[in-house]
Amino acid sequence: MDTWIRKLTASPEDEDIYIQAAQIICRGGLVAFPTETVYGLGADGMSEDAAGKIYAAKGRPSDNPLILHIADREGLDRIADKVTEKAEKLMQSFWPGPLTLIFEKKKEVPYCVTGGLETVAVRMPSHPAARELIRKSQTAIAAPSANVSGRPSPTRAEHVIEDMAGRIDMLIDGGSVGIGLESTIVDMTVDPPMLLRPGYVTVPMLEQVVGELQMDPSLMEEAAPDVKPKAPGMKYRHYAPKAELTIVEGELAEAAEEIARLAEEKRRQGYRTGIIATEETRRFYHEEDVRVIGTRQDEETIARHLFAVLREFDELGTQYIFSEAFSQQDLGQAIMNRLIKAAGHQIIRL
Ligand code: TXA
Ligand code: MG
């Protein structure tokens, strides 16, 4: 199939793009669209047939459920049961935004969307394009990240084109996304609520609103990589670049020196090597393929560029990537969660 690409221009002409996209969704087609976290691959989430196409387009295992995206509170009432007081508080604080909540599903939600589970993941995105598409489609839009299963999530329209051209009906190009990591996921069917996937909304932010949280055991460092996570998608090798990625954790200067040494060793053996660095450590490396992903003074810059840098190394044909580690506090928890998965748990601790 031909993938129709339309670029948003922040002008009245965008209206036509949303109308066309909503028609495709209502006819059971696939439309990729920007959200504040990463690009999503959308289909009508209330239709078994439409949502089923997502799995084929991504090459995604059928037991890995999808998030339903809604634009307003009525959208939630159509799909979710037993919305607790704590859930109400979280929605009030963080919706619309990068937070996904797990509820018991209503029977109208097809099992194809929930991977056979009795629960459903719901998110109300804040990105204006996502909101407009959902509103015009008048349904809940099922949307995983718009990457081929296992690859880093797309943070720019070009990434979606790389992975999805020819597999989807339409792409709404809204430029680069703001956050760059997927939403935080919290299971509200248990008490205390349980963090399943760390994201931009951090544990301290959540705990300030609802008190104590439990952590999915698979998120604990000691538990990985064999403990089975509650979010099925967290069990797969993920975000993985084609290169072998190794994280080196330790005091900053010491880690940087070790990274420089390891990279040089591989380079001498004739491999193409890359380094993921930060502004604070750039000066330690003299290698050609060094990518500064942001500054440690502002971890949001690191979150925003991580996936794009992994994809860039793929394009360069990099064979070995070495990355510095980040603190596991606040947003660092989400950054390290993705980085550790991308590395297949390969970490050198100095
Ligand atoms: O930021 C995001 O959440 C992006 C944008 C597009 O909204 N979407 C996204 O979707 O990251 P995806 O499919 O790549 O990740 C969804 C995760 C998977 O790990 C899946 O297993 C988990 O959510 N999930 C979905 N439904 C669930 C459920 N009922 N119980 C537990 N985990 C669930
Ligand atoms: Mg994904």
Q: Which residue is it, tokens 């001498």?
A: 268
Q: Where are the beta strands (DSSP E) in the chain?
A: 4-7, 31-33, 40-44, 67-69, 80-81, 99-105, 119-123, 141-142, 170-173, 184-187, 194-197, 214-215, 244-249, 273-277, 290-292, 320-324, 347-349
Lowest mean pLDDT among 56-60, 124-128, 288-292: 288-292
Is residue 349 classed exposed, middle or buried when 0-12, 13-18 and 19+ CB atoms within 10 A define those classes?
exposed
Q: Atom 18 in ligand 1: which residue has the minimum CA distance? A: 233
Indicate the pLDDT class of residue 218, thresholds 50, 70 and 90: confident
User: Distance between CA atoms of 344 and 242, rounded to whole angstroms?
Assistant: 12
275, 261 contact by CB (below 8 A) = no
CB 202 near ligand 1, within 6 Å = no
CB 181 near ligand 1, within 6 Å = no
Helix, strand or coil for residue 264? helix
Ligand found nearest the CA of 234? 1
Q: Atom 17 in ligand 1: which residue has the minimum CA distance? A: 233
CB 231 near ligand 1, within 6 Å = yes
User: Distance between CA atoms of 233 and 216, rounded to whole angstroms?
Assistant: 13
> Which CATH number applies to 244-349?
3.40.50.11030
Rounded to a whole number of angstroms, the CA Rg of the chain reads 20
Minimum-distance ligand 1 atom for the alpha carbon of 105: 29
When the pLDDT of each residue in the chain is averaged and rounded to a whole number, the result is 94
CB 232 near ligand 1, within 6 Å = yes
Delimit the domains of the chain by residue range.
Answer: 4-219, 244-349
CB 41 near ligand 1, within 6 Å = no
Superfamily (CATH) of domain 4-219: DHBP synthase (3.90.870.10)
Percent of the chain with pLDDT over 70: 97
Ligand found nearest the CA of 239? 2
Q: What share of the chain is helix, strand, coil (3-state, %, to 5)?
A: 35, 20, 45
pLDDT of residue 221: 64
pLDDT tens digits, 25-51: 999 999 999 999 999 999 999 999 999
CB 155 near ligand 1, within 6 Å = no
User: Distance between CA atoms of 331 and 13, rounded to whole angstroms?
Assistant: 37
Minimum-distance ligand 1 atom for the alpha carbon of 121: 26
Q: Atom 10 in ligand 1: which residue has the minimum CA distance? A: 144
pLDDT tens digits, 272-312: 999 999 999 999 998 679 999 999 999 999 999 999 999 99
Minimum-distance ligand 1 atom for the alpha carbon of 181: 1
C-alpha 111 to ligand 1 mean position (Å): 15
CB 348 near ligand 1, within 6 Å = no
CB 177 near ligand 1, within 6 Å = no
Lowest mean pLDDT among 3-17, 147-161, 200-214, 232-246: 232-246
C-alpha 147 to ligand 2 mean position (Å): 7
CB 102 near ligand 1, within 6 Å = yes
C-alpha 41 to ligand 2 mean position (Å): 10
Lowest mean pLDDT among 103-117, 161-175, 236-250: 236-250
CB 149 near ligand 1, within 6 Å = no
**Phi and psi at residue 106, in whole multiples of 5°?**
-80, 160
* Mean pLDDT, rounded, for 312-339: 95
Is residue 146 classed exposed, middle or buried when 0-12, 13-18 and 19+ CB atoms within 10 A define those classes?
buried
Is the pLDDT assigned to residue 179 strictly greater than 80?
yes
